[in-house]
Structure 1
Amino acid sequence: LTAELVANAVEHTSGKGPIELVVRLLPSGCRVEVHDRDPEPPGDLAPEHDTPPDPWQEHGRGLLLIRTLSAACGHRLTDDGKAVWFTLPALRSP
């Protein structure tokens, strides 16, 4: 999931400024954020706008994977652009 967010930032931003990876450990798990300088929101992270990816295309499944495999995901504006994020739950000890 992290590689997917980073790849999206590299592919879909203008290339101006750095791309930053931030991992935050939370009591409930972790939150991974990718920050870039482009304030435009990513493609739909909301499942209510979900359309199936074209099976003949090489691209178009990344945000679907993030929505499906993470506990939560979204994006927010930052002072320098935006952050796209997802969370994963903590593993419980046996």
Structure 2
Amino acid sequence: MYRDPKFSSFFNQFGRGDGTPPSLLQKIVTVLVTIAVFGVALMFSVVLFAVVVTVGAVAWGYLWWKTRALRKQMREHPPTGRGMIIEGEVIREVEIEDRPPR
């Protein structure tokens, strides 16, 4: 395998030069450290999820509380069907007199 000379110190620093397999103690420590790191990551993710849900619930409650007067007003005075509005477009009828001469 080709190794770039620029990174040879990196490979020498982190590579296993002698090629011996890890001992039983190293394997046990590796498994324990992996389980501990996974447990800490799981704890942080649960806390982050709880914070996100709490902030979302507070924001929803605030918005609901601030719009209560508007919702009450809309219940008391429902919109009427006056006017000719279709999907936000205003339809204007043009009379023949309104057209410019050609």
TM-score range, shorter chain: under 0.3
Structure richer in helix, relative to its length: 2
User: What TM-score does the superposition give when structure 1 sets the normalisation length?
Assistant: 0.15
User: What TM-score does the superposition give when structure 2 sets the normalisation length?
Assistant: 0.14
* Bigger Rg, structure 1 or 2: 2
Larger relative contact order (C-alpha < 8 A, sep ≥ 6)? 1
